Amino acid sequence: MNGWSGSIRLAPLPLPKLVEMATKLTANVKAGGCASKLSPKILDRALRSVPRVTNEKVLVGYDTADDAGVYDLTQIGGAPLAMVQTVDFFTPIVDDPYTFGAIAAANALSDIYAMGGKPVTALSLVVFPAKGNVEDLEAILKGGADKIHEAGCVILGGHSISDDEIKFGYAVTGLIDPQKILTNSGAKPGDVLVFTKRIGTGVISTALKKGIAETEHVNESIQQMLTLNREAAEALSGLTVHACTDVTGFGLLGHAREMALGSKVTLEIRASAIRYLPGAIEYSLAGAHSGGLNNNRDFVESCVEMDSGIPPEIEALLYDPQTSGGLLLSLPAQDAAQLAGAYVIGRVKDRGTKPLEVIA
C-alpha cells in the first residue's frame, strides 16, 4: 500500500491566470471531470446485486443514490452528532494542474454541503504516471490543498497509484446534526425547484478537448467550478428545505431523476428558466457532447416526458455531466425567495406518468 499520513498545511497560493497553458492535461484522457464517471446504467445494475445490510446507525445509505452517507455518532445521553462521508475523484477537466486540483477538491466537498454537513477532514486520492512531470503532480496537490483549506477542512493523508491516466480527488468526512440532514428524497408537491449554478461545464470541457473552446468561455466555466457550494449551503440555515442534491456527473436530469424517484413525485423543469454558461449552447449545437452525456441520456430519457418544442442542443445540455455543479433544491416558494443568487427552474407535482417533465 502506497500512501501518506499527517496533516498537510500549505500557505494560500494565488490562482494562475486562466489562459491557455503549455501543460495539456486534457489531451491524455478519454473524458474529463465528471464526464469520466462510469455509466449510470452500468453502475445501477451492479449496485442492485450488492446485499443491503441493515444498521440502525446508518441514517442515510446508498439506497436512494444520495450524495453522501450519514452515520449516527450520538452516544446515549450525549449531544446529537452524525458523520457524513463521501468520495469523489476524476480525470483532468482543465489543462492547468493547480486549477485541476482545486476543482477536484471543490467537487468532492460539494457532496458534504449537499447533505447540510460541515467538512472536517479529507484524504487525497492520486493516480499519476510514474514518468509524469513531478511539477504537475506538485501543482495538483497544492491546488487541491488550498481549496480544501478554504473550506476549513484539513487533509490527513492519502493514497497514490501509478497509472498512465491522471486522476485526482478526495474522500471527505463531515459532521452534521442528525436532525438537520438534507436528503434527495423529501421533495413535496407544491414546492418549487431552485438551482444555484449554471449548466454547461461538460460541453465546454469537451469543446476544450476538441480545440474549439474560446478562452473566455473556459475561464468562466473554471471560475464556476472553483466556487464552493459552502455559501449556498449556509444560506439554507433557517429555511424549510425538503430535498437537496448537487448536480454533477449524471447531469441535471440524472440527479433530478434520483430526487423524483426517492420522493415519489414528478419534477416539472422549465428549460427556458435554466441559466447556461456562456458558450454552452453554441458548443452543444456544434456537437461537443461527451460519452458521459450520451450515457446519461441513455439511462434517464425513459423517465422524461420532453416537450417537443425544446431544441436538441438545449435537450442535450440537460443531460450534460457537470463538474462541481450547483445545488438542486426543493422547498416552499416563500423560502426560495430568500435565497440570493439561486433561481427557480420548476416545481414539484404529484407523481404523474413520468418522474420528470421538461417543458419549454
Just list the catalytic residues. Answer: 34
HSE at residue 78, side-chain half, CA atoms within 13 A, is: 10
**What phi, psi does 344 have (nearest 5°)?**
-80, 130
Nearest-5° Cα angle at 217, 172 to 244: 35
**Buried b vs exposed e over 85-120: b needs ≥16 C-beta within 10 Å?**
bbbbbbbbbbbbbbbbbbbbbbbbbbbbbbbbbbbb
- Rounded to the nearest 10°, the torsion over CA 122, 162, 221, 21 is 130
Helices (H), the chain: 40-48, 97-114, 134-150, 201-210, 215-226, 230-234, 251-263, 280-285, 291-300, 312-317, 333-336
At residue 357, the 3 state secondary structure works out as strand
Question: CA 338 to CA 340: how far, in whole Å?
Answer: 6
Nearest-5° Cα angle at 23, 136 to 215: 125
Q: Are 98 and 139 in contact (CB under 8 A)?
A: yes
User: In sequence order, which residues have a C-beta less than 8 Å from that of residue 335 and are 6 or more positions away?
Assistant: 239, 240, 241
Question: CA 70 to CA 30: how far, in whole Å?
Answer: 33
